[in-house]
Amino acid sequence: MLNLLARNWWLVEIRGVAAIAFGVLAFLWPGLTLLVLVTLFAAYVLIDGIALLVSLVRGEPGTRGHGWSIALMGVLGVGVGIAAVVWPAITALSLLYLTAFWAITLGAVQVITAIRLRREIAGELWLVIGGLLTILFGVFLMVFPGSGLLSLVWIAGAWAIVFGITNLVLAWRLRSLHLEIIRSRIVTSAR
């Protein structure tokens, strides 16, 4: 699994950039209509889910047994994104609960993945932090549903930026690890 993540570090980076872009747009346009919010949310979740599924498809044969978490996060993201596109008239409360469910599930799977990687990678803490922040975001939405759609936009924007930053840090660590793996293969083959 570590080789899969390290080799596809750039997909983790894409997730981070997409999350930050979503967050910045949410802050730049706080008066978004529900349709625009649904469209931005759907675009972000679809990009995130597709990036995860692409990383799974590109995976090495030996990592397929550990790819369930990547597949679950990817399919969940694509499913939620499609649902948001198909039903654009979704109410603010429905969007709020859909977002909360997605965030709690995504965060839980991310924490489980980090626990499974703890023996393979140093610094899996970034994956745990991102997962826990995502769970807290989802719980907050469920506990305070009356906060309104505008609050959801600001909360989602702040969460997306923090989540994106944690993904970028993880991507850069994975890139370094990937380069180390390549260097060690070159040194080993040169002997």
Domains and CATH numbers, the chain: 2-190 (1.25.40)
Q: Is the pLDDT of residue 186 over 50?
A: yes
State how far the Cα of 51 lies from the Cα of 13, in Å rounded to an integer: 10
pLDDT of residue 104: 94
Residue type, 181: I
pLDDT of residue 108: 94
> What is the pLDDT averaged over residues 137-165?
81
Residue type, 159: W
State how far the Cα of 37 lies from the Cα of 173, in Å rounded to an integer: 32
| 167, two tokens | 């993904």
pLDDT of residue 62: 42
Inter-axis angle of helices 92-117 and 34-57, to 10 degrees?
A: 20
